[in-house]
Amino acid sequence: MEEVLLPQVHHEFLLWEGCNREAKSRYNTRLANLLPRHIYSTCVVNWDVLNRMGCDGEIDDMLRIKLREAESNEEIFTYVAWIRAFNINEPIYAELCHEFYSTYEFDEVCADDELQTKKIIKFRLGGRSHNLTLLEFARRLGLNHVNDQYY
């Protein structure tokens, strides 16, 4: 799809600087489908208001995922990704979502043993191209940490 067919794009990340014509066309086709859809940024939790209401601790606890050992109830680790998600409050959020979803590619053709070594996830974010393994992608999203222990 030619760039003139797209609504006026004002953010530099969505101009696909450094991409070849074929990639720009592919990204613009996806972007044209995404632009009419509204992207809701995550509701930001106002911790000050919750603190004044006396329920900040309770909500903070609900947003933490805790893994405990069954017999001793000892806490093995706490996962705080939900808390990070509720604290997103940036005006660039929609542009980054458009950029990511317009350029995201996942190579589904790979053997099980390649999932941790083959760069199967490709996308642009912040004006830069990224090629990651599935494990690298999960770590960068905060879904998997080197020190996490799963049983």
- 41 in Cβ contact with 92 (< 8 Å): no
pLDDT-wise least confident of 38-42, 61-65, 109-113, 146-150: 146-150
- 120 in Cβ contact with 110 (< 8 Å): yes
- 118 in Cβ contact with 133 (< 8 Å): yes
- At 99-142, the pLDDT tens digits run 888 999 887 776 667 667 778 889 998 889 999 888 888 888 77
Sign of CA dihedral 33, 42, 13, 124: negative
pLDDT the model gives residue 137? 84
Beta bridge partners, 132, equal 121
- Tell how far CA 141 is from the center of its chain: 6
| Phi, psi angle pair for 55, to nearest 5° | -120, 15
Beta bridge partners, 77, equal 67
- At 54-86, the pLDDT tens digits run 877 777 777 777 777 777 777 776 766 666 666
- The pTM (predicted TM-score) of the whole model is 0.57
How many other CB atoms are there within 10 angstroms of residue 103's CB atom? Answer: 22
- 131 in Cβ contact with 123 (< 8 Å): no
SS3 104: coil
